[in-house]
Amino acid sequence: MTEPGNIHDRQNLIQHLEEVDQRFNQLYQTADNALSPSSDTPFSEYLSALSIALEELKLIEEEVCQHNQQLSEARQALETERHRYQELFEFAPDGYLVTDKYGKIQEVNRVAVELLKIEKRYLVGKVLPSFVAEEHRNVFRSLLLQLQSINQMREWEIPFVTRDGARFEAALTVVAVKTESGDTIALRWLLRDVTNRKQIEEKFRKIQRQNLELLEADRLKEQFIATMSHELRTPLTAILGFSDLLLRQFHRQFPPHQTRLIERIFENGRHLLSLIEDILDFSDLRSKRIEFRLEVFDLNELVALTIEEMRSLSEQKKLDLHAQFATANLVIINDRARVKQILVNLLSNAIKFTDSGLVCVQVSPGKPGKVAIVVQDTGIGIDEADFDLIFQEFRQVNQTTTRQHGGTGLGLAITKALTQLMGGEISVQSTLGLGSTFTVELPMHIAPL
């Protein structure tokens, strides 16, 4: 934008005008003399002086024109600026208001009109506090007073009430416009409806509260299950002990049907005890209350041994159970009993959920620094949608089939928790009706817990 007649230009112009004025005075004086009968100066000299004066006047006229031109350009630029500001103000996505220092509205934009639900012509002249919820008006007025000393306030949340009585949560940002001497001449307000945001925040807080409650409930449930299991274990061990004693030492004294009853007591007791032990184990694993007893051993040997221990189960179902080893021996450092527990869980599932075909364990070094144990079967398979679910505690894919197969739904949860504590991973691949493959990857050397 051209600077309209700066001070220097203006002073020059004034000086020029003064010079011309002087010259005209002189000219007028000389003309007066020339017209007097006693004058002896030739008339032509006056004429030439006059023409010089006219020339200068012309120059000045040009200068004035130039100044006028600059002024009008500057005015136009100012007008464009003002228009742009007005557009920004008018079409801003938030409500904007300008008030005097008492909160009397002088200007409002479109969004502010929509928010306060009152026509612009009625809004101008009203005081902003009248739109603040009644119980907050005093606080609002004290803010107005404070704005005399502080210059701005950001994102102040206060309830507003529209002309038709609807309430909304407003966030206000206000800036005081001050004179050089520090007097407030206007206040510029930014008004936003944050009702939705506040509702979302409230929902979020509620969800967080519920989450904490759930976590607490989960902790209590765990505690209850652990205490209950401990309480049950003692009498159950006694029942098992006594029924075992009866079977071994006094079985001749009972008729066969009573012996069968005692056998059932013993079997059911054993089943219950293993369930309780699983529950306690899982609860210890979850709260990391376990310790690994690390030792150096050959994984191949452990797999072969476990397979032999389970062979009677697979034979009952006429399944082909075998192992494949990628290397001659695979020495690792881990808790032998816990690795065996993983193997037993996976193998017993594979045998349980396979009616014909084979169950195979492959052992290989896997990725660098790892070993992989793959347990594959040709059983009923698992739907992909259930891949995550099966690793959750007490979750069984199909209650009817699993009821028929037995189980508690804790085996895979324990296996996963153990694998993760060892710094490994477990994954599953399966096709319904064709079989499943569980892969456990463990570090060669695990860190002690």
Sign of CA dihedral 65, 69, 70, 74: positive
Beta partners for residue 294, in sequence order = 335
**H runs (alpha helix) in 287-334:** 299-316
Nearer to ligand ADP, 99 or 396 (CB): 396
- Min. distance of Cβ 114 from ligand ADP in angstroms? 57
- Min. distance of Cβ 448 from ligand ADP in angstroms? 27
- Min. distance of Cβ 224 from ligand ADP in angstroms? 21
Nearer to ligand ADP, 195 or 402 (CB): 402
Cβ(158)–Cβ(132) under 8 Å?
yes
- Min. distance of Cβ 309 from ligand ADP in angstroms? 18
Rounded to 5 degrees, φ, ψ at 408 are -115, -15
Contact set with ligand ADP (CB under 6 A): 349-350, 353, 377, 379-380, 382, 390, 396-398, 402, 407-413, 436
Counts for the chain of helices (H) and strands (E), in that order: 11, 12
Of 342, 349, 348, nearest to 397 by C-alpha is 349
Report the run of H or E that residue 12 belongs to, with start and end.
helix 7-35
C-alpha span between 328 and 343 (Å, rounded): 19
- Min. distance of Cβ 413 from ligand ADP in angstroms? 6
Q: How many CB atoms lie within 10 A of CB 217?
A: 11
Q: How many CB atoms lie within 10 A of CB 296?
A: 10
- Min. distance of Cβ 418 from ligand ADP in angstroms? 12
Nearer to ligand ADP, 95 or 411 (CB): 411
- Min. distance of Cβ 422 from ligand ADP in angstroms? 18
**H runs (alpha helix) in 250-298:** 256-286
Helix pair angle (411-421, 256-286), 10° resolution: 40
Cβ(345)–Cβ(375) under 8 Å?
no
C-alpha span between 122 and 430 (Å, rounded): 72
Single-letter residue type at 234: T
Nearer to ligand ADP, 116 or 426 (CB): 426
- Min. distance of Cβ 313 from ligand ADP in angstroms? 13
Location of structure tokens 């479109």: 110
Cβ(327)–Cβ(365) under 8 Å?
yes
Nearer to ligand ADP, 360 or 413 (CB): 413
Nearer to ligand ADP, 334 or 349 (CB): 349
C-alpha span between 23 and 31 (Å, rounded): 12
Query: In the structure encoding, which two tokens stand for residue 149, read together?
Result: 């000393």
Nearer to ligand ADP, 175 or 397 (CB): 397
- Min. distance of Cβ 362 from ligand ADP in angstroms? 15
Nearer to ligand ADP, 292 or 353 (CB): 353
Nearer to ligand ADP, 120 or 395 (CB): 395
Beta partners for residue 297, in sequence order = 332
Location of structure tokens 């031109």: 69
